[in-house]
Structure 1
Amino acid sequence: MSILLEFSMFPISENCRDGDSVSAQVSKVIDVIDRSGVSYQLTPMGTIIETDTLKEALAIIELAYEQLKECDRVYSSLKFDIRNSKQNRLKSKIASVEKVLNREVNH
């Protein structure tokens, strides 16, 4: 099974922001994801992780939130893509599109 989870999580309360920046808090979240050992990809608008089970994905969300629990208010957005018959989709989905693009460029 492959669980792809794209999420963003950051404080929106004044007590955890440095002006408009939330980089320090987002860095805490990314650090805990990195240390967890799951595959992930940081993007400008969020982070994508891949786990073997939904339980593992939700545990990452809980770990991420623990990094921001001192904040009065935290915004989170989550999207799941759950597929039973595949693995390593964090890389293979991108490779599939790149393969198609190369074919189109060569014709």
Structure 2
Amino acid sequence: MAIAEFTIIPIGTATTSLSSYVADLHKELEKHTDITFQMTPMGTILEGSLDRVLAVIRAVHEVPFTNGAERVSTSIKIDDRRDKPASMQQKMQSVTDKLK
């Protein structure tokens, strides 16, 4: 299972506000029910097979273009652990356990 964090930044928009773009990205993510996602104030985290995660990021990357952006910058970080099962929840629990 892969966990990926990505940030999409539309460039060449009419305004400095990006919340309408973020809302549209969220609507696209909701269409992909076979992956788990968590939006944060600075990006989005996905969990699923590597192929699906990359396909979903590709689909979401296109959204700002369809909404008028002239340029889109997407940054991606991927944690693809194959020695044992991993998830967003498991990673957070591991840290929480160590804080006790």
Q: Give the TM bin, normalised by the shorter chain.
A: 0.7 to 0.9
> Residue 10 of structure 1 contacts residue 25 of structure 1 at CA under 8 Å; is this kept in 2?
no
Q: Does 1:34 align with 2:55?
A: no
Structure 1, unmatched stretches of 5+, are none
Stretches of 4+ moved more than 4 A in 1? none
CA distance in 2: counterparts of 1:33 and 1:43, whole angstroms? 13
Amino acid at match of 1:65: H
1:24 positional shift = 0.6
Matches within 5 A, 1:25-104: 25-37=21-33, 38-52=35-49, 54-70=50-66, 71-101=69-99, 103=100
1:87 positional shift = 3.4
1:66 positional shift = 2.4
TM-score by length of 1: 0.81
RMSD between superposed Cα atoms in Å: 1.5
Structure 2, unmatched stretches of 5+, are none
CA distance in 2: counterparts of 1:63 and 1:84, whole angstroms? 25
Most deviating of 79-88 and 2-11: 79-88
Larger radius of gyration: 1
* Corresponding residue to 1:23 among 6, 19, 38: 19
TM-score by length of 2: 0.86
CA distance in 2: counterparts of 1:88 and 1:44, whole angstroms? 23
1:75 positional shift = 1.4
CA distance in 2: counterparts of 1:86 and 1:45, whole angstroms? 28
Q: Percent identity?
A: 32
Length, aligned pairs only: 97
